[in-house]
Amino acid sequence: MPFAYEAAPNELCLRQGELLRGVWLYSATTARELAEGAQVGFSAVKHELVVPLNADCDLYWDHHQRFVADEPANESHPRLVPFVFLCGAYTEPEIRGREGVNKDVWRKMTANQDERYHHFPAASIGNPPAGNLPELILDFKKTYCIPTSALYDGIGNGIARVAMIPPVYLHDLMQRFYSFHARVALPEL
């Protein structure tokens, strides 16, 4: 059976392994600039495609606690996840244009033989197909944390839920992602 993405979830809670489109990351002025008396400023970067990597159960419990009827979220509640951990998903031209990505590196990436990257082939979304996604590479060094409340505010207001990575492929992705981040760092000689 060929690889295909599942349709975007119908439920309201964020899911591990769903593809989100149009997520903005805002970064505030550095502490050094603030110490010099400058006004608080920020930069904004739009991420075309990202994948939430928090455990599905944590996102589920967060949603159910965060959206209790007629009550504001108690940010100190132990079930709330203050930030969602996102990994950037990039198309072939975005990755191949990077410095140091030659034919051999690209071959390793697309064969999932480079520990830093995870490759998904171009595939349809849903059954019957309701669209397609191009070949995607997740870069485990390009990760971001965004306030959970900001992601929920953005869904339907610029952030689109695109598709879900099927569970069997998601398990492999998560194993590879956490292996990459759990590695023992050694200096390059």
DSSP3 helix / strand / coil % (the chain, rounded to 5): 30, 35, 40
- pLDDT at res. 36: 64
- Which residue in this structure is represented by tokens 């739009």? 46
Alpha carbons 110 and 134: distance in angstroms, whole number: 13
The low-confidence residues of the chain, meaning pLDDT below 50, are none
Alpha helix ranges (H) inside 37-166: 56-66, 92-96, 103-110, 148-154
- Which residue in this structure is represented by tokens 């492929």? 169
DSSP 40: P
Find, among 147, 97, 127, 123, the residue nearest to 19 by Cα: 123
Paired tokens of 178: 């956490």
The domain made up of 6-182 is a member of CATH 2.30.30.110: yes
| 3 state SS of 106 | helix
